[in-house]
Amino acid sequence: MYTVRHRKDSFLGTIITMAVLGQWRYFPKTHIAAISLITIIVFFAIGKSSDTQQKREIQTLVLNSEAVVSSVAAVETWQQTELKSGDNLSRVFTRHSLSAADALAIASSAPKRVLNLQPGQIIKWQSSESNNVTRMRIETSPLIAHVFERTIEGDYDYQLDEKVADRRPKFAHATIKSSLFLDGAKQDIPQSTLIELAGLFGWDIDFALDIRPDDEFSLIYEELFLDGERIGFGNILIAQFINRGREITAIRYEDGKGDAQYYDPSGHSMRKEFLRNPIDFARISSRFNLKRKHPVLNKFRAHRGTDYAARTGTPIKSTGDGKVIFAGRKGGFGNCVIVQHGSRYQTLYAHLSKFNRSARKGRRVKQGQVIGYVGSTGLATGPHLHFEFRVDGVHRDSLRIKLPKSRSIAKDQKSAYQAVADRMIEWLKSQRDNVRANDGSLSLTQSPSDLADDA
């Protein structure tokens, strides 16, 4: 029933499919409730464009008279500029000899903080002979424009012109010959999507060490279109990686509260959790304490970690899957390893006697993997591990902090998720079979809901 075709009029189909799948993140929350509203916009837009068509025809007709042409040109001419680094509205106005007072009036007519000007954004305007801006359009993204219209009183009316992108699912498949990025790029998968893909599987696959030739991956991701032109890429809807025969699948699912996450087919989060302690059977010799007297320096200095007393050579484990971002000497820490976990978490392991071979900068480590061995390098009175846990760059007490749980699908969402997951997996599989059958030429004609209807 809901068919997604690669045609402009598939817009509604996509919207409905997305509603079915729950892929609303890209849309402003205020629009979510109202498919009907979007329908109205679609018809409105169609009406508007045919209007423009008529206008153009009229203009073509009057072009014959030179007098009329010049007056039309005076009204219709838009000028435009691209914002450079360090630009603000008054600089742009000065550069183009526009009224400085207008710059202030325009800036103050927009709601606060709405005009977040960045290099590369486009400003278009029309001006009068006295260099007053009569109309201005600041395009902060392909989807968002701020429109200012001069009133008779000389101030400006502000309007937000927000467009909705058409999201079209796209299938891609690649077999690894050299790397995820090179072989993915060969299949025209955008780099941003490949980075996201690596992040999705980053807790399960060590892309530096685990990848083998003939590993393969398939995914369906969104391309964003506006007026038939591709303006960017949306979410990965489903991705599957076959690493040395091991199949790992991530499915995007939005819960009832509008939170989207990736889960495996049985509903476990793709994000993993942390171990509380990096050493087994150790004694905690010093706790997190912001007012501790330092045993070596003998002065008050915050202790932003937990110390584990243990024999030299005791293995130290990474408390979570992650990537080694530092392995080397670091002042009072002595031999030190820092691991980045996802985008928010970091763990630090200090005073190591030696590093494990796996703990090299840039390498991925698994939860529980040995990264080094207890020692007393740096400022240490005896062999111990100094362990730190940082969240968004802030030191937290690793023994007391609520560690992120790898949240599974909630019980009340389980059956809804299972239905979506089954359809998505079936969709991916049918696309891959298509590619194999047609040797690469494919069109994505089915949505998961079609498959459900067939089943």
Q: In this complex, which beta carbon is closest to Zn ion, that of residue 306 or of residue 434?
A: 306
Judge whether 292 and 305 are in contact, CB under 8 Å: no
Q: In this complex, which beta carbon is closest to Zn ion, that of residue 13 or of residue 383?
A: 383
Shortest separation between residue 303's beta carbon and Zn ion, angstroms = 6
Pairing label, strands 335-341, 345-352 = antiparallel
Q: In this complex, which beta carbon is closest to Zn ion, that of residue 170 or of residue 390?
A: 390
SS3 135: strand
Max intra-chain CA distance, the chain: 95
Judge whether 380 and 351 are in contact, CB under 8 Å: yes
Region from 126-134, 157-165, 297-305, 363-371 binding Zn ion, contact rule CB under 5 A: 297-305
Q: In this complex, which beta carbon is closest to Zn ion, that of residue 183 or of residue 307?
A: 307
Shortest separation between residue 280's beta carbon and Zn ion, angstroms = 19
Judge whether 365 and 323 are in contact, CB under 8 Å: yes
Region from 186-194, 218-226, 325-333, 385-393 binding Zn ion, contact rule CB under 5 A: 385-393
Shortest separation between residue 394's beta carbon and Zn ion, angstroms = 17
Report how far residue 367's alpha carbon sits from residue 275's, in angstroms, rounded to the nearest whole number: 7
Report how far residue 176's alpha carbon sits from residue 165's, in angstroms, rounded to the nearest whole number: 32
Q: 42 — phi, psi (to 5°)?
A: -60, -50
Q: 345 — phi, psi (to 5°)?
A: -115, 145
Q: In this complex, which beta carbon is closest to Zn ion, that of residue 13 or of residue 305?
A: 305
Judge whether 115 and 84 are in contact, CB under 8 Å: no
Region from 193-201, 290-298, 355-363, 379-387 binding Zn ion, contact rule CB under 5 A: 379-387
Q: In this complex, which beta carbon is closest to Zn ion, that of residue 307 or of residue 450?
A: 307
Residue entry with tokens 């978490």: 345
Shortest separation between residue 375's beta carbon and Zn ion, angstroms = 13
Judge whether 410 and 255 are in contact, CB under 8 Å: yes
Identify residues 31-50 at the interface with Zn ion (CB under 5 A).
none
Q: In this complex, which beta carbon is closest to Zn ion, that of residue 208 or of residue 296?
A: 296
Region from 28-36, 87-95, 139-147, 382-390 binding Zn ion, contact rule CB under 5 A: 382-390
Shortest separation between residue 366's beta carbon and Zn ion, angstroms = 25
Q: In this complex, which beta carbon is closest to Zn ion, that of residue 305 or of residue 320?
A: 305
Region from 52-60, 109-117, 298-306, 438-446 binding Zn ion, contact rule CB under 5 A: 298-306
Shortest separation between residue 283's beta carbon and Zn ion, angstroms = 13
Shortest separation between residue 89's beta carbon and Zn ion, angstroms = 51
Shortest separation between residue 386's beta carbon and Zn ion, angstroms = 3
Of the candidates 382, 41, 444, the residue with the CA atom closest to the CA atom of residue 219 = 444
Instruction: Please identify which residue in 170, 252, 363, 386 interacts with Zn ion, judged by CB under 5 A.
Output: 386
Report how far residue 367's alpha carbon sits from residue 278's, in angstroms, rounded to the nearest whole number: 10
Region from 264-272, 277-285, 384-392, 423-431 binding Zn ion, contact rule CB under 5 A: 384-392
Shortest separation between residue 345's beta carbon and Zn ion, angstroms = 19
Judge whether 111 and 156 are in contact, CB under 8 Å: no
User: How many residues of this chain interact with Zn ion, rule: CB under 5 A?
Assistant: 3
Shortest separation between residue 301's beta carbon and Zn ion, angstroms = 10
Residue 390, interface with Zn ion (CB under 5 A)? no
Q: In this complex, which beta carbon is closest to Zn ion, that of residue 140 or of residue 347?
A: 347
Beta bridge partners of 316: 372
CB atoms within 10 A of CB 124: 15
Per the structure block, which two tokens stand in for 444?
Answer: 């994505």
x/- track of binding to Zn ion for residues 251-280 (CB under 5 A): ------------------------------
x/- track of binding to Zn ion for residues 300-339 (CB under 5 A): -----x-x--------------------------------
Report how far residue 393's alpha carbon sits from residue 240's, in angstroms, rounded to the nearest whole number: 32
Shortest separation between residue 286's beta carbon and Zn ion, angstroms = 6
Report how far residue 273's alpha carbon sits from residue 115's, in angstroms, rounded to the nearest whole number: 39
Q: Which amino acid is at 41?
A: I
Per the structure block, which two tokens stand in for 91?
Answer: 């600089």
Identify residues 394-453 at the interface with Zn ion (CB under 5 A).
none
DSSP string for 221-289: EEEEEETTEEEEEEEEEEEEEEETTEEEEEEEEE-TTS-EEEE-TTS-BSS----S-SSSS-EEEE--E
Q: In this complex, which beta carbon is closest to Zn ion, that of residue 223 or of residue 307?
A: 307
Instruction: Please give the distance of CA 448 from its chain centroid, rounded to a whole number.
Output: 24
Q: In this complex, which beta carbon is closest to Zn ion, that of residue 170 or of residue 386?
A: 386
Shortest separation between residue 314's beta carbon and Zn ion, angstroms = 15
Identify residues 125-164 at the interface with Zn ion (CB under 5 A).
none
Among all residues, whose Cβ is closest to Zn ion?
386
Angle of the 66-76 helix axis to the 35-62 helix axis, nearest 10 = 150
List of residues contacting Zn ion (CB under 5 A): 305, 307, 386
